């Protein structure tokens, strides 16, 4: 009986060490792309949330006001930035809550594309979220001009989409305010995938 108890302890420790050594996985990746309202003004960003609470954000923006280069051509200065932040262990419950929502039925049942709430005039915006689910599945959701929609227009969206976009906004604010600059992009590229061919997945 003593031997069985010792083996049970050894197995338990092995499981704990295995879980601890398991590399963090990307659970959410989001892209934002915008242009306007002024000519030449563009912005792109990529955001990633890892299972261990690490946040990565890479952004790029082009100034609206052009300047002449040495050859007399008008160019628009571009700036790039990369930041990282990790939630402290005391906030692991918050990370788990985010992951639970991302794997919820409500989110998985969302259609994959939401068109502009109104006809864009001088400002265009695309937001794409890729949720990495168990067994290698990926849920992709893309919304056009969501963040410039009025409250009346947003009221027409499914609740799960509103929660998803608000969560993205809060996480990106967190890494922007609390994150530290880094040279690593961790596989986060500032590019926006094309709209899905189908409206449902």
Q: Where are the domains of the chain?
A: 24-181
The architecture in CATH of the region 24-181 reads 2-Layer Sandwich (3.30)
Per-residue pLDDT of the chain (201 residues; tens, 9 = 90+): 555 544 445 444 444 444 455 688 899 999 988 776 665 667 788 899 999 999 998 887 666 555 566 666 656 566 778 889 999 999 999 999 999 999 999 999 999 999 998 887 777 888 999 999 988 899 999 999 898 888 999 999 999 999 999 999 999 999 989 999 987 666 676 554 554 444 444
DSSP annotation string for the chain: -HHHHHHHHHHHHHHHHHHHHSPP-EEEEEEEEEE-SSTT-EEEEEEEEETTSEEEEEEEEE-SS-EE-TTS-EE--EEEEEEEEE--GGGHHHHHHHHHHHTSHHHHTS-SEE--SS--SS-EEEEEEEEE-GGG-EEEEEEES-TT--HHHHTTS-HHHHHHHHHHHHHHHHHHHH-EE-S--TT--S--PPPPSSS--
Compute the half-sphere exposure of residue 160: CA atoms within 13 Å on the CB side of its CA: 16
Q: What is the pLDDT of residue 14?
A: 47
Q: What is the pLDDT of residue 184?
A: 64
Q: What is the pLDDT of residue 34?
A: 79
Q: What is the pLDDT of residue 77?
A: 60
Cα separation, 121 vs 79, in Å, equals 25
């Amino acid at each position: 009986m003593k031997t069985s108890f010792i083996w049970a302890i050894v197995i338990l420790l092995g499981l704990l060490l295995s879980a601890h050594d398991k590399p963090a996985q990307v659970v959410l990746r989001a892209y934002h792309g915008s242009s306007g309202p002024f000519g030449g003004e563009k912005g792109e960003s990529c955001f990633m949330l890892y299972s261990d609470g690490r946040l990565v954000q890479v952004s790029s923006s082009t100034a609206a006001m052009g300047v002449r280069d040495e050859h007399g051509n008008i160019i628009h200065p571009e700036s790039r930035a990369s930041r990282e932040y990790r939630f402290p262990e005391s906030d692991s419950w918050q990370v788990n809550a985010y992951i639970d929502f991302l794997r919820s039925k409500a989110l998985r049942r969302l259609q994959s594309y939401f068109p502009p709430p109104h006809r864009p005039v001088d400002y265009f915006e695309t937001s794409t979220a890729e949720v990495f689910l168990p067994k290698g599945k990926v849920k992709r959701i893309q919304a056009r001009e969501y963040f410039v929609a009025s409250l009346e227009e947003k009221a027409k969206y499914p609740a799960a989409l509103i929660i998803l976009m608000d969560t993205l906004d809060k996480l990106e604010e967190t890494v922007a305010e609390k994150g530290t600059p880094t040279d690593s992009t961790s596989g986060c590229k500032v590019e926006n995938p094309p709209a899905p061919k189908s409206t449902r997945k």
